[in-house]
Chain A
């Protein structure tokens, strides 16, 4: 193969390097604001607010990092497909295993009545400072 044949795709590949960089400082400041909100959320004492400020904001923070710091949006499309595929595998794992872990009984089985409780001897260790 000629050098030219190799150099052409290499040039395409390095086209990624020329992407415009976003304002990283501004993205960082947004991440700090979101962190402050997620920390403040539990102090309101409202469970649904805590869940939203904790996990909802975690998703937003993850999106900001993926898009602006990891530059997923300027990578070839298959990178998004690759990451999405493994996330779908995670959901499959959860949906297949969760019923066994979370349900107290099934068609031919039933968990012990105390399955949700940790034995007292173990509970003492994690009981608090």
Chain B
């Protein structure tokens, strides 16, 4: 009888179960975010007045947060390289902490941005544009927070050289969160 953990040995699909699960998660997330963004796009194309509302979003804040997320993605993939190529759990954990730092900076900037907008009367109930804006950006921010928490757990394990394959799994999730922002940025901050 074999007694190895199923998550990194079963491979009927040609990949470890953990990674397969992450890809299924991402497929379901694409439907969630895709549905939301498709709805936004069709409403935006149908309502010329939304250009005026979009003009209130801050391009520089959006660009800075894009820079932060892309940089954190670089750290995440570097963590994977440390774990995969060098079997260096401590090095992987260090890069994961950098990635978490990026996520926290993103959330802090988002909090500042929303505080400014809400204090100027642009709230989630103001009109449909702002409803979409806060729902899409808020759902994304929740994913960032979830990613940071999970990454903290994975980093703690990696530091002890345990479960190093999980470094890649959380990385794939984090890159997806980055991908969503890559499309939210032009939709909410550039197209005015």
Contacts and interface: CB of A to CB of B under 8 A. Distances in A.
A128 B56 CA distance: 6
B56 A10 contact: no
Interface string A73-116: 00110110011011101100110011001100000000000001
Contacts of A125: 121-123, 126-127, 130
B181 to A, nearest CB: 10
B172 A70 contact: yes
Interface string A8-19: 011011101100
A129 B45 CA distance: 24
A28 B70 contact: yes
B179 A12 contact: no
Contact of A69 (B34, B45, B76): B76
A127 B50 CA distance: 10
B115 interface: no
A62 B182 contact: yes
A127 B52 contact: yes
Interface string B75-110: 011100100110000000000000000000000000
Interface of B: 2, 4, 8-16, 19, 23-24, 26-28, 30-31, 34-35, 38-39, 41-43, 45-49, 52-53, 55-56, 59, 63, 66-67, 70-71, 73-74, 76-78, 81, 84-85, 120-123, 126-130, 165, 168, 171-172, 175-176, 178-179, 182-183, 185-186, 190-192
